[in-house]
Amino acid sequence: MTEQANAELSIQELKLLLVYASKAATAAARYIQSFDRSALQVQDKVGGDSLASQVVTQVDIACEQLIKLHLQPSCEQWQIALLGEESADEYGHAQHPRLTRDYFWCIDPLDGTLPFIEGGAGYAVSIALVSKLGQPLLGVVAHPSSNNLYQGVVCGSEHLLYKNGLPWQPKGIGGSQVHNLFPATEQDHSQPILSCFFDRSFVQQANFKILMSRLEQQVQLLGYSAIDIAHDAGAVMNAIQVLEHPSACYFKLPKTHPGGGSLWDFAATAAITSAADGWVSDIYGAPLDLNRCDSTFMNHRGVLYATDSRIAEMIMAIANRGQL
């Protein structure tokens, strides 16, 4: 294929690239579904400060290779760089092609490796197209356990959002159907519940109980009767679950040491959430920094997903007053 000159991608081109990403994610999801988890070989790797970022399996590696194979023709035609979780160390941070190409694919071949190892359902395949400026343009998430495929495209004011190939309007952003992806205890409340999704490492922190106490006080002021907590998924499915619930949030606070998730943990869901007109930002309300040049970690400014601005503003107000 002949290479195209660098230019802003049109909506038609983004639709074509969405097909590439969707086929790649679906192929990886099928590979995961076919794999016998009793044959898993778990290895350690250099990561952040949580166990989830320090383990890798042969499935992670095989899925990334499979995804790259599917995406390679698009890389040649549109001069797109590739950033994959399992191959990110091939370049130094300052030398990675993502910093010089107009666009790069951001790949998490198996987000939620720990749930996958443990036999849970909170894992997914995640692929995003990100601009050199760090803007998520399209995202695809394949959830092998449910066979759900989430797709989002953001091109200026034009947004496209699909679930399983059909136009989708999430429950909390004007839709009409809620879908619980993981088993949950039925609760009967006369007032709405706020669903809060957290990473396992966050729940295990010493100040988590204090956090929940302060959140409970604030959510009552917004008219919620209770908080429902879930922490059995990776970052990708935590963000997707926000869209699958009528009132929900998922956030990670900034911290001084490396960690807090990586670019590939949030790029695809940032595109999908933006396409849904949901809230996605750092903990200060600014767009996610999805192409930082000094690191691939997101610990410097945190992340925040919410079904609406009232929930997001409540969390930011507490965090920025130093209450979390």
Q: Which residues are annotated as a binding site for Mg(2+)?
A: 85, 108, 110-111, 265
Quick check: 111 and 124 in contact, CB under 8 A? yes
**Residue for token pair 């994959």:** 84
CA-wise closest residue to 147 among 30, 298, 293: 30
Q: Give CA–CA dist 254/42, Å, rounded.
A: 29
Spatial separation of the C-alpha atoms in residues 211 and 153, rounded to whole Å: 34
Q: Which residues of 111-123 are buried (b: 16+ CB within 10 A; e: fewer)?
A: bbbbbbbeebbbb
For 51, other C-beta atoms within 10 Å of its C-beta total 14
DSSP 180-199: -SS-------SS-EEEEE--
**Which among 138, 3, 145 is positioned nearest to 80, based on CA atoms?**
3
Contact residues for 266 (Cβ-Cβ < 8 A; gap 6+): 235, 239, 288, 290, 298, 303
CA distance 206 to 167: 42
Residues that constitute the known binding site: 85, 108, 110-111, 265
